[in-house]
Structure 1
Amino acid sequence: MKINAFIEEYDLHDSLIKKNQINGGKLVLEIALCNWRQNNYSPNENEMKEIKVVFGNVQSYYLDSTNDTVDSDSIMEINCSDVDSSPTLKDIKIVFEGEEGIKIMTFRSDSVTVEHDSLC
């Protein structure tokens, strides 16, 4: 999936980043998604949903924080911008808040996949 399509399809505001892992060229975010905020939400579904978001071909990963531990931090904003040298790469910025305050994750990627699981 293209990064722009992901950001348009998923409303991540107030969802929780439960865990992040960078491994080679992949960034994996385990997120407790506020399912009730999604456009396709149906009242007979769970209000929260576990998803795993995997960004591919990750470059320039940086987490700006006094504490690099992520533990159910609330997503405040996610956005992306074009990279002049590539038609597919995007610069992504995720702003989230934890017990230690505001954290900003920035990285460059060209693709994202989403895996779904139910959460009570």
Structure 2
Amino acid sequence: MKITTFIEEFDLHDSLLENISINGEKLVLDIDLCNWRQKNYSPEEDEMKVIKVTFENVQNYHLDSTNDTVDSDSILEISCTDVDSSSTSKDIKIVFEGEGDIKIMTFRSDNVTVE
């Protein structure tokens, strides 16, 4: 799925970032999603749902933090900007908080899958 579609379809605010793993050009985020915040949520569903978000063709990964471990860190914001008009890649920024520390993850990707 396109990055912009992912950001439009999934409301990650207040969801919990459980794990970050990067392997080559794949960045995998394990997220305990606030399912109740999603557009298509129905009361019969669980309020929280574990999802695995995999960004493909990742470049320029950087985590700006004094503490690079995550332990149910709360996602505050996710945004993306165009790299240039001829590219499908996006520059992505995820801001999250854990143990009183604000962490900023930035990277470039062109595709994302959600499981």
> Partner amino acid for 1:46?
D
- Asked if the contact 1:26–1:54 (Cα under 8 Å) also holds between the matched residues in 2, the reply is yes
* 1:73 corresponds to 2:54: no
TM-score by length of 1: 0.94
User: Counterpart in 2 of 1:53?
Assistant: 53
The whole-number CA distance in structure 1 between the counterparts of 2:36 and 2:102 is 24
Q: Which runs of 4+ in 1 moved over 4 A?
A: none
Post-superposition shift, 1:102?
A: 0.2
Query: In the alignment, is the contact (CA less than 8 A) between 1:76 and 1:96 conserved in 2?
Result: yes
Structure 1 pair 86–24 and aligned structure 2 pair: CA distance change class (3 A):
farther
Deviation at 1:45, TM superposition (A): 0.3
CA distance in 2, matches of 1:86, 1:98: 37
Number of aligned residue pairs: 115
Question: Percent identity at matched positions?
Answer: 77
In structure 2, the partner of 1:82 is 82
Gaps of 5+ in 1: 116-120
Name the structure where strand makes up a greater proportion of residues: 1
Give 2:14's aligned amino acid: D
Q: Partner amino acid for 1:58? A: V
Map 1:33-52 → 2, pairs under 5 A? 33-52=33-52
**Amino acid in structure 2 at the alignment position of 1:6:** F
What is the rounded CA distance, in whole Å, between the counterparts of 2:85 and 2:105 in structure 1? Answer: 21
Question: Which structure 2 residues correspond to residues 1-120 of structure 1 after superposition, within 5 A?
Answer: 1-84=1-84, 86-115=86-115
- Give SS of 1:87's match: coil
Looking at structure 2, the residues matched to 84 and 111 of structure 1 have their Cα atoms a distance apart, in angstroms, of 16
Please state how far the C-alpha of 1:87 moved relative to its aligned partner: 2.2
Structure 2 residues without counterparts, runs of 5 or longer: none
> What is the one-letter code of the residue matched to 2:92?
I
TM-score by length of 2: 0.98
